Structure 1
Amino acid sequence: MYGMEPKNCKRRILLAVSGMSPQILTETLYALACVQRPAFIPTEIHLLTTASGARSARHKLLHGGNFVRLCKEYGLDPELFKEQNIHLLCDAQGQPLEDIRTARENEIAADQIVDWVRRFTSDPCAALHLSLAGGRKTMGYFAGYALSLFGRAQDRLSHVLVSSGYESHPEFFFPTRESHLIEVGNGRVLDARDARVELADIPFVRLRTEIPQPLLEGGAGFSETIRHIQRIDEPPRLELDLTCRQLRASGLAVELPPMLFAFYAWIVQRHLRDDSRPCAADLREPNGLFADELMTLVRSVEGEMGRDRELTERSLKNGMDKAYFEEKKSRVNKILESQLGKALARNYQITRFGKRPNTSYGLALEKENIDWRD
């Protein structure tokens, strides 16, 4: 379902970050539902805010407030946004933050904003529309960066634009159908009916495919996720410890089942030799030498009584054939992509070199970037 038009998604989420200006939520909803074409009518609305921001939102939006007025005036469902949809940013002890002023509070807010965006984008049936209009500048930055990390084709990022005089006015929440006068000082009065509200769509780079599955599933904060993306631009380094059966790529532990660990070790071992990559021509018939080399590594990894050793021995009793090689290569590469992310995994996956009939297989890594330990 990835790549669906946002308006066609079964679950349509509007998420806003806000401080003491809850009107960004009604302004954004108005723009999405009443101005934008095609309209994006949310099925649920969520607000991320501080303790003081939550009090302001409850008072000004709910319980007969301006959100309810907007829904009544334009035929929207007031159940889209309820008190339980106001999510508080909390400190390490679970206490709501009154504001975000210190470096530590910024770090905490970043992790929680990232986690909410990750959650909402984990549903393939959902389209997320994220508004950057409210809250402190760092909140908007973290929210936008989070969508860049986790956003998909159907997700959108926007900033609401309000005509001069109405912007940030504490009594303006949306353009009304009927005349609604608001005072702007010095005896001047504006009519909410005349206000113009629109959305500026903000393009963003989608990095989701570069993030490994464990980070997509949660448990990582903002800084850890960014650190992973930064590894892509660093020199690759592969560490393989045969005795401890440990594999690290760019400093990240990679978990491979014993058989696949031995197969990958065999590829690395041959890669480290001169001119000894396995070739497609060597697999036209079952290859006894390849089978013997792999079995030696399987015994080192599994010992003489390992279950994988027995299965591998039976599979290779007549030698290693092309089907066996391709199946193991494909599984290893998929696990590397899942655990490292697509871009980082390319440095470590088993790659094809040359053209048929002279195709060979190995790693793109330079030998000096591989640390092999027996």
Structure 2
Amino acid sequence: MPKPRRILVCVTGLSPQVVTETLYALAVKQGWVPDHICLITTAEGAKRVRLSLLSEDPGWFARLLKDYQLPPIRFGLDDIRVLTDAQGKELSDIRTPQDNERAADFIVTTLRELSADPDSQLHVSIAGGRKTMGFYLGYALSLFGRPQDRLSHVLVSEPFESSWNFFYPTPYSKVIELNDKTLADTQDAEITLASIPFVSLRHGMPDQLMQGAVGFAGAVAAINRSLAPPELIIDLEAKRIRAAGSIIPLPPVELALLSVFARRALNGLPACAAPSKEVPDSPWAVWFMLEYDQIRPERGDEDATRRSLAKGMDGDYFSLHKSRLHAKLKKRLGPAAEAYLINNGRRRPYRYSLGLPPSSISYRKLAVADTQAVSEHTTLSSTDRSPS
């Protein structure tokens, strides 16, 4: 198997040394050599990295590679991602609540992008930058991190910690002046990489949030909704439901099928058999049309549905629209969709039901207040009518 593309992700502020210190701990002490370094920083942080690490002199990044005979590692000006404000202007520092929000969204977007490649392996360091930057980076890895990804913090021994002249332990004697004007030999420095376990929440993220440009708050809200107790609200006339906090429009046939099982669950009825394959079932068609008639679909759709079920509903029709319903719920809700699926009991003879308790199901018009927890991808129509 080919080796996964290794990416070191760092945040820095006024201390560019974090990059070389972390790289030394990973590549020299642990043998994990990245192929690429991605740096998230402020405008001032980018300037310091450019002057101290990527310049010809002192050029500490190139020096580290040469001193320890490391292979080429991609890290240049194009790999420095600078935080920006709402107008696209680079931030020199993070000082306001708005700056914090922008930093959080920027970091989440970066981690989502870097983790989208299944052949990549991320090592994320939270050692640099403001504390909020490190927190957001660690949290973003919890949201999007995979089993192969790692999180760490680098620790530097005294008296080298926070020294402006120290960048990594050299394999030879090099005397530097410390911040308190005393002298020390960089050959004596010790660097330790503290591994930080993280809880991966990636499996709870809906597909839309994994692929779209959703910010930090939206991603956290999606996780919270997926972990909350299930609640299903059905608005038949508006042709939509609220499930796991998300408003989901549904086609009339899929909505009617879901409503059949929601109504049975509300009334405490047991699981039921699906219609037989290629054998029209008249009672099933009656159950279905009782819900369908409340939805008011478009005339053409309504006529086509009535013709299809004129002799009853067969198993193929049932299976087709159950699959379409499940696909829509899974796409919007991710793993949180499981509570809202029509399950078959998982053993033969299959009997189908909606596993929600009656207290979790209701029928009503979805008002504006119901949309407050909806993800940034959801747009509601202003022409929704009240149910009759």
TM-score (norm 2): 0.84
**Paired position in structure 1 for 2:326:** 333
Residue 105 of structure 1: CA displacement? 1.2
Separation in 2 of the partners of 1:198 and 1:358? 57
Q: Kindly indicate whether the alpha-carbon contact (under 8 Å) linking 1:247 and 1:253 is maintained by their aligned counterparts in 2.
A: yes
Separation in 2 of the partners of 1:302 and 1:245? 9
**Paired position in structure 2 for 1:62:** 54
Secondary structure of 1:114's counterpart equals helix
Secondary structure of 2:339's counterpart equals coil
Residue 286 of structure 1: CA displacement? 5.0
The answer to whether the aligner puts 1:50 opposite 2:45 as a matched pair is: no
**Paired position in structure 2 for 1:15:** 9
Q: What is the one-letter code of the residue matched to 1:112?
A: F
Residue 370 of structure 1: CA displacement? 1.8
Q: Of the candidates 348, 363, 367, which is equivalent to residue 355 of structure 2? A: 363
Q: Kindly indicate whether the alpha-carbon contact (under 8 Å) linking 1:266 and 1:297 is maintained by their aligned counterparts in 2.
A: yes
Separation in 2 of the partners of 1:316 and 1:73? 81
The answer to whether the aligner puts 1:204 opposite 2:198 as a matched pair is: yes
After superposition, the Cα gap between the structure-2 partners of 1:168 and 1:239, relative to the gap in structure 1 and judged at 3 Å, is same
Q: Of the candidates 19, 22, 36, which is equivalent to residue 28 of structure 1? A: 22
Q: What is the one-letter code of the residue matched to 1:366?
A: P
After superposition, the Cα gap between the structure-2 partners of 1:155 and 1:329, relative to the gap in structure 1 and judged at 3 Å, is same
Q: Of the candidates 144, 150, 154, which is equivalent to residue 156 of structure 1? A: 150
**5+ residue gaps in structure 1?**
none
Separation in 2 of the partners of 1:296 and 1:310? 16
Q: What is the one-letter code of the residue matched to 1:43?
A: D
Residue 303 of structure 1: CA displacement? 3.7
Residue 326 of structure 1: CA displacement? 4.3
Q: Kindly indicate whether the alpha-carbon contact (under 8 Å) linking 2:281 and 2:311 is maintained by their aligned counterparts in 1.
A: no
- Which digits, 9 at most, give the CA deviation of each residue in 1:117-152, with x for residues without a partner? 111111112111110000111110000000001111
Separation in 2 of the partners of 1:128 and 1:309? 54
The answer to whether the aligner puts 1:305 opposite 2:300 as a matched pair is: yes
Secondary structure of 1:16's counterpart equals strand
Separation in 2 of the partners of 1:298 and 1:318? 14
Separation in 2 of the partners of 1:316 and 1:181? 91
Q: Kindly indicate whether the alpha-carbon contact (under 8 Å) linking 1:12 and 1:41 is maintained by their aligned counterparts in 2.
A: yes
**5+ residue gaps in structure 2?**
366-386
**Paired position in structure 1 for 2:93:** 99
After superposition, the Cα gap between the structure-2 partners of 1:168 and 1:312, relative to the gap in structure 1 and judged at 3 Å, is farther
Separation in 2 of the partners of 1:46 and 1:209? 25
Residue 355 of structure 1: CA displacement? 6.3
Q: Kindly indicate whether the alpha-carbon contact (under 8 Å) linking 2:20 and 2:61 is maintained by their aligned counterparts in 1.
A: yes
Residue 63 of structure 1: CA displacement? 1.8
Q: What is the one-letter code of the residue matched to 1:106?
A: N
After superposition, the Cα gap between the structure-2 partners of 1:315 and 1:152, relative to the gap in structure 1 and judged at 3 Å, is farther
The answer to whether the aligner puts 1:72 opposite 2:62 as a matched pair is: no
**Paired position in structure 1 for 2:223:** 229
After superposition, the Cα gap between the structure-2 partners of 1:186 and 1:53, relative to the gap in structure 1 and judged at 3 Å, is closer
Q: What is the one-letter code of the residue matched to 1:337?
A: K
Q: Which moved more, 1:43-52 or 1:290-299?
A: 290-299
Q: Kindly indicate whether the alpha-carbon contact (under 8 Å) linking 1:13 and 1:46 is maintained by their aligned counterparts in 2.
A: yes
Q: Kindly indicate whether the alpha-carbon contact (under 8 Å) linking 2:155 and 2:192 is maintained by their aligned counterparts in 1.
A: yes
Separation in 2 of the partners of 1:247 and 1:8? 45
The answer to whether the aligner puts 1:86 opposite 2:86 as a matched pair is: no
Q: Kindly indicate whether the alpha-carbon contact (under 8 Å) linking 2:283 and 2:312 is maintained by their aligned counterparts in 1.
A: no
- Which digits, 9 at most, give the CA deviation of each residue in 1:55-109, with x for residues without a partner? 1111110022101111222233555100111111111111111111222211111
In the TM superposition, 1:275-290 aligns within 5 A as 275=269, 277-279=271-273, 283=276, 286-290=280-284
After superposition, the Cα gap between the structure-2 partners of 1:316 and 1:212, relative to the gap in structure 1 and judged at 3 Å, is farther
Aligned residues: 362
Residue 171 of structure 1: CA displacement? 1.1
